[in-house]
Amino acid sequence: MSESIENISIQVKVNGKSYSRSVEPRKLLVEFLREDLDLTGTHVGCDTSYCGACTVLMNGAAVKSCTVFAVQADGTDILTVEGLEKNGELHPIQKAFGDCYGLQCGYCTPGLMLSALQLLSHNKQPTENEMRKAIAGNTCRCTGYQNILKAIHVAAESMKGA
């Protein structure tokens, strides 16, 4: 059925760097990031649009990259977990997740940190309910979420000055 489908050229900025690539139209954004760009920090958890492990920011908005086609990212600005660290310094959210033990196995952590980043970029001082709502699309099967909420709170405090 798809024999005659040609690749499509896309231009996408990922973590500040521009890429031009030719991709299969059916390729998902998460596969493009992991396989074509070798950015394997974005994880595939459920692959059914449930768990949020594949969350990245697309033009500043959190999306599940397993539920967006790579061709739909044409012309957009993507931020993955690899883009959080700046000049060898961890992002305040990364630091807070570590300091607060906001992770155990770490599989869901990249997605959670990007959901937290979308929240904190619009809301400098979120309430606990706002934090819970912001990460409701990210499943963690280790922590029980308490330390993740603590981490987001600590990150919010340390990002206030920034």
Partner 1 sequence: MLGQLGDDAKLLAGGQSLIPLMKLRFANPAHLVDLNFISGTSYIKQDNGTIRFGALTRHAEIEASPLVETIPILHDCAAGIADVQVRNRGTIGGSLAEADPSGDWATVLFTLVADVRCIGANGERTVSVSDFIKDAYTTDLAQDELVSEVEVKIPPKGSSGAYLAFKRSAPVYPTASAAVQLTMEGDVCQDAVIALGCVGLTPIRVKDAVSAMRGQPLTEKTVASAVEAARAAADPQSDMRGSADYKRTLVVALVKRAIDIAVRRARGEQGNAGHIYA
Which residues of the shown chain bind partner 1 in the complex (CB under 8 A)? 1, 25, 28, 47-52, 55, 58, 61-64, 67-69, 71-72, 115, 118-119, 133-134, 136-138
Quote the least distance from Cβ 58 to partner 1, whole Å. 8
Quote the least distance from Cβ 139 to partner 1, whole Å. 8
With 0-12 / 13-18 / 19 or more C-beta atoms within 10 angstroms meaning exposed / middle / buried, residue 153 is middle
* Residue number with CB closer to partner 1 (17 or 111): 111
Q: Where are the alpha helices (DSSP H) in the chain?
A: 29-31, 92-99, 109-122, 128-134, 146-160
Quote the least distance from Cβ 22 to partner 1, whole Å. 17
Give which of 97, 110, 9 is closest to 52, Cα–Cα.
110
Cross-strand partners of 89? 86
* Residue number with CB closer to partner 1 (90 or 145): 145
